[in-house]
Amino acid sequence: MSFTSKGFPMMLTFDLDCETMWTARDPDAHKRPILMSQGAYGWKRGVWRVMDVLKRHEITSTFFVPGQVVEAHPEVIEALLKDGHEIAHHSHTHRWIVTLTPEEEREEMELAQQAIIKATGEAPRGWRSPAAEVTDVTMDLIKEYGFSYSSNFFDDDAPYFLKVRGAPIDCVELPFRYINTDSPYFQFAKILPGRTITSPPQVVDTWSWEFDTLYAEDRMMVTAMHPEFIGQPSGAIVLDRFIQHIRKHDNVWIDRCDRISADMAAQMKADA
């Protein structure tokens, strides 16, 4: 039985980190304009190409955007909303959560929350951590802010209600795994030793194999991509071909995380 009333859940999600991808690692990164320009590709070029691919396939999706990026690029947020995409919470500065004090964690949560409300007119429904870490404080904040879904953990191919300090809350976890993200294949920089760039067709194959297995098992799939990488010319072809592969299958629901997670929550409550 499917986890939703509309078929196999497929969520193509995007983290629009832009320059925060680098300033989160090193606060002095803004003094390195060429490094910063790798992030700028996201809002200047990548996100527009991603929007083109999604529009061609008539897909609405979720974009996790740091508050600083929301504030710096209102034209991007406006265009995403116009195409029917969802803006979700991805911290304010993208600083790595394990380096923050509890006060800083709260500030990260609140500043981005306000930036998104100001830009979109509504509170974000979902939250994704920068750099894949949480603390007990983070979990308390997810509960306090009333997010209806989170997409953070790597422990399953099925949705479940998130637990905070041992007790389940009304927030659907949408787990994913590194193999279904684009950064391990395409994030290359002089300051990240040991990284190489994967041949784009290999990524289409990898994600298609993941999809085929999950589809056959009637699980779910979440991909997490960055317009800085997947919005490059060959990346857009990866995205396009992966969507073409998905579309060869019946009974697949490709949509925004807020819509799919709401349907999942209703199903899980009905089954309980």
- Return the residue of 12, 15, 230, 263 that touches Zn ion, per CB under 5 A: 15
| 17: contact with Zn ion by CB under 5 A | yes
- Closer residue to Zn ion (CB): 126 or 130: 130
| 71: contact with Zn ion by CB under 5 A | no
Q: Please give the helix or strand (H or E) that residue 212 lies within, else none.
A: helix 200-216
- Closer residue to Zn ion (CB): 64 or 215: 64
| 19: contact with Zn ion by CB under 5 A | no
CA–CA dist 21, 41 (Å, integer): 12
Which residue has its beta carbon closest to Zn ion? 15
- Closer residue to Zn ion (CB): 17 or 255: 17
Report, in Å, the least distance between residue 56 CB and Zn ion: 25
- Closer residue to Zn ion (CB): 4 or 68: 68
Q: Please give the helix or strand (H or E) that residue 87 lies within, else none.
A: strand 86-89
Q: Which two tokens stand for residue 214?
A: 């999950």
CA–CA dist 77, 13 (Å, integer): 15
Report, in Å, the least distance between residue 233 CB and Zn ion: 22
CA–CA dist 224, 43 (Å, integer): 17
- How many of the chain's residues bind Zn ion (CB under 5 A)? 3
- Closer residue to Zn ion (CB): 131 or 169: 131
| Angle in degrees, CA 265, 214, 10, rounded to 5 | 50
Candidates 8-16, 44-52, 154-162, 232-240; binding stretch for Zn ion (CB under 5 A): 8-16
Q: Please give the helix or strand (H or E) that residue 223 lies within, else none.
A: strand 221-225
Candidates 125-133, 203-211, 217-225, 255-263; binding stretch for Zn ion (CB under 5 A): 125-133
**Per-residue b or e along 96-122, where b marks 16 or more CB atoms closer than 10 Å to that residue's CB:** ebeebeeeebbebbebbbebbeebbee
Which residues of this protein are in contact with Zn ion, per CB under 5 A? Answer: 15, 17, 130
